[in-house]
Amino acid sequence: GPAWARCRVANLLQSRHPFNVIFIFLCLRTSPRLLCVATQQKNPGQNVDEDQSQSHNEQKAEASPAEKMLTEEKAKLEEQLKEVTDKYKRALADAENVRQRSQKLVEEAKLYGIQSFCKDLLEVADILEKATESVPKEEIKDENPHLKSLYEGLVMTEVQIQKVFKKHGLLRLNPVGAKFDPYEHEALFHAPMEGKEPGTIALVSKIGYKLHGRTLRPALVGVVKDA
C-alpha cells in the first residue's frame, strides 16, 4: 500500500546505497509524491526542532503580557521605595532640626533664665553706685569714723555685687569714648563737643549691662555730633 511504499522509500534514502538510489529514481518516475513523503520521514528530527521552536515562540508570546505586568509592578515598587526613602530622610532631617532647636532653647534657658532676676538686681547696683558717689570725698577721714565706715561698707558691697554679676555673665557697659552702637547704647541727646570725634560717646548718664553677650539694659549716653 502507499504507507508501506513511503516507509520503504524512507529506509532506502537513509541507507544511501547506489542500487537503492537507482531504485528510488525509477519509483519516483511513476509516483513523485513518494519524494515528499520520504523527505519528511528522512528528517524527523528537523520537524521536531521546528515544532519545538514554534512552541517556544508561542510560549514566549504568551508570556509577554505577564512579563510586562511584572515590569510595571517593579517600576511601581521602585517608585514607592523612592518616595518612602525620601520621606524617611526628610523625617530624620526634621527630627534633627527639632532636636537642635530644643537643645538651643535649653541652653538659652540656662543662660538667660536669670534675666528678670538680674534686671531687678541692676536697680540695687544703681542705688549702691549713687550712694557711694554722693558721699563727699573730703569728708571721708578719720575724724568722721562713722561716715568712713559706712562709705567703705558701701564700696565693698558694690564690689562684691559686681563680682557676682561677672560670675553669672553679667557685665557693665560704661562706653565713654567708644563709638555709638544702637544695639548697646541709647542716645539721650546729640551735641557738638570740641576735641571729640563725631559719633562717639561723650557722657554716660546710666550704666548699661550685657548678659552673656546679649544687651540686658542699654547704656544711656550723650553722643557727639558735627558742629
Please report the beta strands in 104-207, taking only residues with DSSP state E, as ranges in sequence order.
170-173, 185-191, 201-206
Residue 55 CB partners (closer than 8 Å, separation 6+): none
Q: What is the DSSP string of 114-127?
A: THHHHHHHHHHHHH
**The pLDDT of residue 144:** 86
Q: What is the CA radius of gyration of the chain?
A: 55
- The cell numbers describing 157, all together, are 558691697
Do 139 and 164 form a contact (C-beta atoms < 8 A)? no
In angstroms, the CA 26 to CA 227 distance is 140
- DSSP, collapsed to helix, strand or coil, labels residue 93 as helix
> Would the pTM count as exceeding 0.75?
no
pLDDT digits (tens, 9 = 90+) for 164-205: 999 989 999 999 999 999 999 999 999 988 888 999 999 999
Looking at residue 79, the DSSP 8-state letter turns out to be H
pLDDT, position 125: 92
Least trusted range by pLDDT, from 33-37, 57-61, 145-149, 189-193: 33-37
pLDDT computed for residue 38 by the predictor? 44
Q: Are 50 and 56 in contact (CB under 8 A)?
A: no
Mean pLDDT is highest, among 40-49, 52-61, 141-150, 157-166, for: 157-166
**Mean pLDDT to the nearest integer, 46-64:** 57
Query: What is the predicted pLDDT for the residue at 34?
Result: 45
* Average pLDDT of the segment spanning 114-141: 89
Using one digit for the tens of pLDDT, what is the confidence trace for 72-102?
888 899 999 999 999 999 999 999 999 999 9
